[in-house]
Amino acid sequence: MYFYAARQPILDKNKKLYAYELLFRDSIDNVFPDICGDEATSKMIEASRFNMGISEFTGNKPAFINFTAETLSKGYPEMLTTDEVVIEILETVKPGKKLLALCKDLFHKGYTLALDDYEHQSVWAHFYPFIKIIKVDIQHSGLKEIETVKNAISEYPNIKILAEKVETYEEYEQALALGCELFQGYFFSKPEMVKTRDLSPSQMSMAELLYETSKPELDLDNITGVFERDVSIAYKLLRYANSPIFRRRNEISTIKQALVTLGQQELKRFLGLIFAVNVNPDKPSELLKQSMARAKFCELISVEMTSPVDSSIAFLTGLLSMIDAILDEDIETVLTKLPLAQEIKDTLISRKGVMAALIKLVELTEYADWEKIEKVIVKLGLNKDSVVKCYNEALAWADEQSMLTDN
């Protein structure tokens, strides 16, 4: 079984991944709030214990999970370890003696507690010694609420402020200046600014390789020529082909030999790796991981459709769907510089057609917009269980690639 859940990254002030919040639903049919918070949380715990573990879903990062008063009192948080969960106390939970006692008990057992969608009330001061994180929804409460919270917790250095629903870099910078240490929202997946600049020779080589490997049949002479023009990428290819994970008996010493030995699928995987690492190393790693997850999702789901599309084209379209944010430039401007198939350019610019619907599907899944997901699934003739399965597998694959690039 797979989680009917989406994960949303939480970054630290250096834009490094800190944790994920899990947005859980019973199924795509059972759209929240048609089930209560107690049931949603209990089903999440059940799934994590008996099916796919939460740690697998979050790449061994902590999972922020919402808990109601009922699920707290039933001891559900203790079905998860202190390392894999951050207990989010929902904004609908009323502060009182019973809740305070539960928080004290969980704190002393080593659990991390967070107050969700916090709006300041003096009564919460009794909880501050046991709270590690306070989440402020800046779209709902505004940035001024951060200042209010900061003043209220001035005597509690144990508490971090998390700015939630940060949608632009300007909001990120404002929240950072106000003292926030954690950030949640899709500010990192949008361009910081629109500017014009030339792509580096290495980026151009990467684009050519992505284009060549998206073709049904590999043209080894063309691909070899691109690698020969870029010594740094050629070196990485040979190093990858000779890495211990393949357990080769004989050393691979030429580019063509490496290409033949790796094959199309492994070559595409290699290019995805170096794309993520080298296209813009200053970008948050979570953005690059998200683009890889999109690529894998589009590849996997493309063969599940009523009218299947080319999986290689689907992979590349998903991979490049965030290229504007990665290069901090308007998508149309970026794509005019890249030697890509017109089909891919048209999809990403016009956002029309079957491939564009796939990109829309993965975007909605990232936002956990289950109601709209259902409409796209019907349009594409997909099975909802297949969508969830492919999404989970794509996240796991992207996490795996990230770990490889970090080593």
The pLDDT tens digits for 211-237 are 787 777 778 888 888 888 888 888 888
Structure token digits, residue 359: 């990109």
The residue-averaged pLDDT of 368-374 equals 85
Structure token digits, residue 232: 């740094």
- Percent pLDDT > 70 in the chain is 87
Q: Are 280 and 189 in contact (CB under 8 A)?
A: no
Signed CA dihedral, 297, 299, 300, 305: sign only? positive
List for the chain the helix, strand, coil content (%; round to 5): 55, 10, 35
DSSP-assigned beta bridge partners for residue 251: none
> pLDDT tens-digit profile of 389-399?
899 899 988 88
User: pLDDT class for 316, splitting at 50, 70, 90?
Assistant: confident
Average per-residue pLDDT for the chain: 83
DSSP-assigned beta bridge partners for residue 5: 24
Q: Within the chain, what is the greatest distance between any pair of CA atoms?
A: 73
Is domain 5-189 given the CATH code 3.20.20.210 in the classification? no
| Amino acid occupying residue 126 | H
Q: What is the pTM of this model?
A: 0.81
3-state secondary structure of 12: strand
The residue-averaged pLDDT of 90-105 equals 92
Q: Are 207 and 223 in contact (CB under 8 A)?
A: no
User: pLDDT class for 1, splitting at 50, 70, 90?
Assistant: very low
Structure token digits, residue 141: 């409460």
Signed CA dihedral, 277, 279, 281, 283: sign only? negative
Concatenated DSSP letters of 161-208: EEEES--SHHHHHHHHHTT--EEESSGGGS-S-----PPPHHHHHHHH
Most confidently predicted of 110-114, 168-172, 193-197 = 110-114
Query: How far apart are the C-alpha atoms of 398 and 328, rounded to whole Å?
Result: 22
User: pLDDT class for 34, splitting at 50, 70, 90?
Assistant: very low
Query: How far apart are the C-alpha atoms of 90 and 84, rounded to whole Å?
Result: 18
| Amino acid occupying residue 326 | I
Query: How far apart are the C-alpha atoms of 10 and 366, rounded to whole Å?
Result: 13
Query: How far apart are the C-alpha atoms of 18 and 14, rounded to whole Å?
Result: 10
Domain ranges for the chain, please list them. 5-189, 212-219+264-406
Query: How far apart are the C-alpha atoms of 168 and 285, rounded to whole Å?
Result: 17
> pLDDT tens-digit profile of 130-144?
999 999 999 999 899
Residue 26, pLDDT > 60, answer no
DSSP H stretches of helix in 178-310: 201-213, 220-229, 231-241, 255-278, 285-302
Q: Which residue has the higher pLDDT, 29 or 267?
A: 267
Rg, the chain, Cα only: 23
Residue 194, pLDDT > 80, answer no
Q: What's the pLDDT score for residue 123?
A: 93
Structure token digits, residue 89: 């106390």
The answer for residues whose C-beta is within 8 angstroms of residue 124's C-beta and 6 or more apart is: 95, 115, 118, 152
The secondary element (H helix, E strand) that includes residue 146 is: helix 144-152
Residue 369, pLDDT > 60, answer yes
